[in-house]
Structure 1
Amino acid sequence: MTPILVFAFFGLMALSVPVAHAMLGGTALALMMDGKPLAVIAQRLYAPTQAFPMLAIPYFILAGSLMMHGKFGEYLVNIARLIVGRFRGGLGQVSILGSVMFGGVSGSAVADASAMGNALIPVQVRDGYPAPFAAAINASSSTVSVLIPPSIPLILFGLVANVSIVDLFVAGILPGLLLAAGMMAMVWYVARRRGLPAAPLPGGFRAFKSQIVFALPALLMPIFIIGTLRFGIATPTEVSVLAVAYALLIGIFFYRDVTPRLIWNALVETGMMTGAVMLIIMASGTIQWILTAEQVPQNLAAFVGTHLTEPWMVLIALNLVMLVVGMFLDLPAAVLLLAPLFVTIGNTIGLDPVQLGLMMVINLSVGLYTPPVGTTLFISMAIARTGIGETSKALLPFYLVAVVVLLAFTFIPALTIY
């Protein structure tokens, strides 16, 4: 069944069928060709959604939506300008630092790319930034959000690979910060060569004090999440509910911008994003059933153990596969499909599953700004009104940063701190 499944899945993807529907279509065709009843799909469709930690996904999305539909986004940009705006390429630096802050609230690269892109790309272009460069900064920096807790892809990896979500959250902080630091250094270098201006926020320290007072309660959310999880006060699911309550309380009593319309918009956005993620999770359950029934993970691990004799060769092979898959599949779908296979292979060389999770998310996040399916790439291009060729060329320095960080976390296990 597996060859039929693979052929049908990629054939449907080539016809621009959505990922989840391509998964279900490929599964149905494989089952019919093998003479098995389609009732298997109905039986396996809901099994992956029954894990209790899965509830954390919609609640974390809702908490981020409540924050970003209010005034927090404006304060976030102002704080970032006050911290890094005085450097060369200040607005580009703001975009990256803003993504770090935004990641601690939303955990979604797509939401980050849309929010930060709409706020900063038009201003950057007016300040003399080439539109492709502005789009490249936004498309690449927004992927920092999928590493800074709370991270939806890390939650999915933890559920599929049976790894502690708390450990993954804590371990995701360092690669997220290193990616951001590398991208900021690259923006400074390019800005210096092209003579791009700084963009300090007027007012100096006095303005910083007034802005930090308003931004601090929301910026404390990731610290609240990690602290609550790390000290065992609550489970990831319970923390996600507390995060929603925290966002509501801040909005009602501190920012005073919570209205019925804001709550409605946040709920609609959460419903749409959760629906898309859950449909992929449900569809992946049917594929995983076929792969498990035909012992694909075990056979693949045996093949790797026979033909790739050194651990470093296995690591290189895993990274290359993930880079290619990330170019064609959205991050959640790729995590759900690859994690069960790669955990089995990783066990053959003693690879820490938390390290594997970081490798996978760093790797697959590159696909978010790589043609032909890069989500944050096309969002940024639409805002900047640029073409794919010129934007991809402007992205080359940021690919270099991502590859350096990826190789570091692949071959230096000590960096995986949790």
Structure 2
Amino acid sequence: MISALIFILFVLFMMLKIPVAVAIGLATYIPFVIGGFDLISIPQQMATSTQSIPLLAIPFFLLAGVLFNNLGLTGKIFNFSRSIAGWITGGLAHTIIIAECILSGCSGTALSDAVGLGTVGIKAMKDEGYEVSFSAAVTICAAMLGPIIPPSVMMVIYAILANVSLAKLFLAGLLPGVVIAGVLMGQIYWMAKSKRITCPAPTSFSFRQVLRTLKDGVAALLAPAIIIYGMVGGIVTPTEAGILACFYSLVIGIVYRTLTLKGMKDALVETVIGTALIMYIIAISSAMGWLITMEGTPMLLADWLSAISVNKWVILTLINIFLLMLGCLMETLPAMLITVPMFLPLLQRLQVDPIHFGLIMIFNLLIGMITPPMGIGLYVMVAITGVPFEQIVKACFPFLVCLLISLALITYIPWITMVLPNLLMK
């Protein structure tokens, strides 16, 4: 009963356009009072939830992503990606996907990547004759790779909630990220070949241009390799990798002479604001999760789903449907903070690897970024491009189908997720 009240109140507050952090707090406080729980439990749970060393990685990865955008490094990555993908039909759209794969190795959030790539990529695509709505759709769908390909802020939070190895979770995201990128590029190629989109003729491949853009952006391109190799090789912890990403970004800014005091100040301010919001949502959501757990909802959910079927693939299908619907109504972070504790007992009963499920959950909720009515990624693209919301939704639909296909592959072929963690971190 309490859990149902929490969900109803949260949805109601979101419909009233109350900020998500405040909505979570109110949806937690009211059931606490009605249920007769001791209110001192709220600040206790909030304080306890933020006393975790791995959470230190969040501000560092956020800062690294902001620095990459502010220092002009995203543009260098885009130019290199364009040199290796420009010869393919629909070349600039492929460039966005490849650039995001590289950029994901430096940042850890989808929306910051969408803003960074959108500023550079959408303008370039518009100049080449692509429809702006299509360019926006490609950009926001590509930005989903940010939290899938390590490092990832969402993975940091999931690893803490599920008590799993963050390094293994980072490795688990590499191959699914490649699969998602491949499916998106396949869709772009088909749309370009079948004339469903307006795009210029592909340019001829120039090895000289590849070398030139590689030379110009080699320092920026090395960043993902250094960060990921450092974690896989056991040289640095994920938290230390965040520090390394920030330090390396600053060094690159000095080398390219794009680092300024104003730029540094703006990056720090943006990081502080983003970190404060994330940490508050984590803290208040932990109080909500504690209340849901105290009522016994996770075990009730496990019993209910087990009564429907004992086949784990059927259960995972039902969970996928639930998470996709939830992602349409809630932002990714609070949705994950609330649902992970609810599903963990069920995962243990079904013997589903929590690392595999972590990728399933994160990708499910990311799809909500391009799905109305919440669809926060859609609103970001509206703000960047000025294109009406309905046009961007329509342009995203073909890619939504591709993302659902990718989700099915990741869900029903665990090997895609688990091969690298099992191979490299036995």
**TM-score > 0.5, shorter chain as reference:** yes
Structure 1 segments (4+ residues) deviating >6 Å: none
User: Match of 1:278?
Assistant: 279
For 1:219, the aligned partner's letter is L
Hey, what's the Cα distance between the residues in 1 that align with 2:124 and 2:249?
Answer: 28
Hey, what's the Cα distance between the residues in 1 that align with 2:235 and 2:5?
Answer: 47
Q: TM-score, normalised by structure 1?
A: 0.95
Hey, what's the Cα distance between the residues in 2 that align with 1:134 and 1:244?
Answer: 30
User: Match of 2:424?
Assistant: none
Hey, what's the Cα distance between the residues in 2 that align with 1:381 and 1:95?
Answer: 18
Query: Mean Cα displacement is larger for which, 30-39 or 174-183?
Result: 30-39
Hey, what's the Cα distance between the residues in 2 that align with 1:360 and 1:320?
Answer: 11
Q: How does 1:8-23 map to 2 (within 5 A)?
A: 8-23=9-24
Deviation per CA, 1:377-413: give whole Å up to 9, x if none: 1111232322232222221221121111111111112
Q: Is the 8 A contact 1:141 1:180 kept in 2?
A: yes
User: Match of 1:135?
Assistant: 136
User: Match of 1:218?
Assistant: 220
Hey, what's the Cα distance between the residues in 1 that align with 2:123 and 2:203?
Answer: 17
User: Match of 2:240?
Assistant: 238
Hey, what's the Cα distance between the residues in 2 that align with 1:281 and 1:198?
Answer: 48
Cα RMSD of the aligned pairs, angstroms, is: 1.7
Q: Percent identity?
A: 33
Hey, what's the Cα distance between the residues in 2 that align with 1:231 and 1:142?
Answer: 27
Query: Mean Cα displacement is larger for which, 232-241 or 169-178?
Result: 232-241
Hey, what's the Cα distance between the residues in 2 that align with 1:368 and 1:374?
Answer: 4
1:196 to 175, 184, 199: 199
Are residues 201 and 261 of structure 1, via their aligned partners in 2, closer, same or farther at CA, if it must alter by over 3 Å?
A: farther
Q: How does 1:74-223 map to 2 (within 5 A)?
A: 74-194=75-195, 195-198=198-201, 200=203, 204-223=206-225
Shift in Å, 1:364: 1.0
Deviation per CA, 1:220-251: give whole Å up to 9, x if none: 22222222222222221122112212222222
Q: Is the 8 A contact 2:106 2:245 kept in 1?
A: no
Q: Is the 8 A contact 1:78 1:201 kept in 2?
A: no
Hey, what's the Cα distance between the residues in 2 that align with 1:13 and 1:399?
Answer: 24
For structure 1, list consecutive stretches of 5 or more residues without a partner in the other structure: none
SS in 2 for 1:226: helix
User: Match of 2:295?
Assistant: 294
Hey, what's the Cα distance between the residues in 2 that align with 1:307 and 1:121?
Answer: 46
For 2:113, the aligned partner's letter is D
Shift in Å, 1:322: 0.7
User: Match of 1:57?
Assistant: 58
Shift in Å, 1:193: 2.4
Q: Is the 8 A contact 1:228 1:234 kept in 2?
A: yes
Hey, what's the Cα distance between the residues in 1 that align with 2:402 and 2:92?
Answer: 19
Shift in Å, 1:159: 0.8
Are residues 216 and 344 of structure 1, via their aligned partners in 2, closer, same or farther at CA, if it must alter by over 3 Å?
A: farther
User: Match of 1:400?
Assistant: 401
Shift in Å, 1:39: 2.4
Q: Is the 8 A contact 1:179 1:402 kept in 2?
A: yes
Tell me if 1:415 matches 2:416.
yes
Deviation per CA, 1:317-375: give whole Å up to 9, x if none: 11001101111111121211111112221111111111100101111111111111112
For 2:236, the aligned partner's letter is A
Shift in Å, 1:12: 0.9
Shift in Å, 1:199: 5.7
The count of residues paired between Structure 1 and Structure 2 equals 416
For 1:236, the aligned partner's letter is P
Hey, what's the Cα distance between the residues in 1 that align with 2:91 and 2:409?
Answer: 27
Query: Mean Cα displacement is larger for which, 301-310 or 399-408?
Result: 301-310
Q: TM-score, normalised by structure 2?
A: 0.93
Query: Mean Cα displacement is larger for which, 325-334 or 37-46?
Result: 37-46
Q: How does 1:23-34 map to 2 (within 5 A)?
A: 23-34=24-35
Q: How does 1:356-367 map to 2 (within 5 A)?
A: 356-367=357-368
Deviation per CA, 1:80-117: give whole Å up to 9, x if none: 11010122211111111111111111111101111111
Q: Is the 8 A contact 2:45 2:287 kept in 1?
A: yes
Q: Is the 8 A contact 1:323 1:366 kept in 2?
A: yes
Q: Is the 8 A contact 1:82 1:200 kept in 2?
A: no
Hey, what's the Cα distance between the residues in 2 that align with 1:14 and 1:71?
Answer: 38
Shift in Å, 1:176: 0.9
